[in-house]
Amino acid sequence: MGLQSFERALANMVDSVFSRSSRNSTIRPVELGRRLLREMDDHRSVDVKGRRIVPNIFTFHLSPRDHAGFADIEHALVHELGEAAREYARDEGYHFVGPVQIDVVVDNALKPGRFGIASSLRESGAAAEQA
């Protein structure tokens, strides 16, 4: 299952790094993973061929403090979130219209411990494949 694999991989990857950065961030990586999978479920649709289509572009909005807390692991976190999305899609029979893209941005309006996610569908193409 996508979430369990994500939790295991992320736990192994960030145990030492996250323990150092947890003073700076009040959000745990697994919370981002759970919200990602829920976002996929909440925004699934059916295409003209009857396939269940889910968003493939995800942008996490974090407070400056929480974003700084993930600075040491951001690249690995983004990679693991993308893998979790792809695995979950396989498990659920979901399809993407283009490559999965995960972005993490600072939102100065958010308080520490709060985060948002925005998702969209973007077809594959020259610009999407280069991203």
pLDDT tens track for 70-111: 999 999 999 999 999 999 999 999 999 999 999 999 999 999
More confident residue, 53 or 24: 53
- pLDDT value for 124: 81
Closest CA relative to residue 55, chosen from 91, 89, 105, 4 = 89
Q: Give residue 128's pLDDT band: very low, low, confident or very high (50, 70, 90).
A: very low
Contacts of 50 (CB under 8 A, 6+ apart): none
Which sign does the torsion angle of CA 7, 120, 50, 38 carry?
positive
CA 28 to chain centre: 12
